[in-house]
Amino acid sequence: MSGEPVTKSGVTTGRGEIGGETVSTWRGRDGQAIACREKLKVLNENLEEMRSICQDALDDAVALGCDPESFRAIVGAMLARLESTLRGGKG
């Protein structure tokens, strides 16, 4: 693995672009920017996958008559409650 940061599109940077939006720099537990290309690739790909799944779920919710803001509040609350299942993974 190289220590050089990269985005999903292959541009060398500590930031990514997911679904047309710029992603803030990924940070490690120590607060330092993650610079490893492979780690950034996985993080950005995971984020894009989550965005796509959430978009589909939002579209389903709206089609079923749900208020989009209600959907966002429920998903946001769910994300805020997530805890790592990995040993030593706080947060």
Number of domains in the chain: 1
Decide if pLDDT at 15 tops 60: no
pLDDT digits (tens, 9 = 90+) for 36-47: 999 998 999 999
Q: Is residue 44 part of a domain?
A: yes
Q: How many CB atoms lie within 10 A of CB 12?
A: 11
In a domain, 40, yes or no: yes
Confidence category of residue 72, pLDDT binned at 50, 70, 90: very high
Q: In this structure, is residue 5 part of a structural domain?
A: no
* Interatomic CA distance for residues 20 and 30, integer angstroms: 28
- Is 27 part of any domain? yes
Give the tens place of pLDDT for each residue, 16-57: 555 566 667 889 999 999 999 999 989 999 999 999 999 999
Tell me the average pLDDT across 79-83. 95
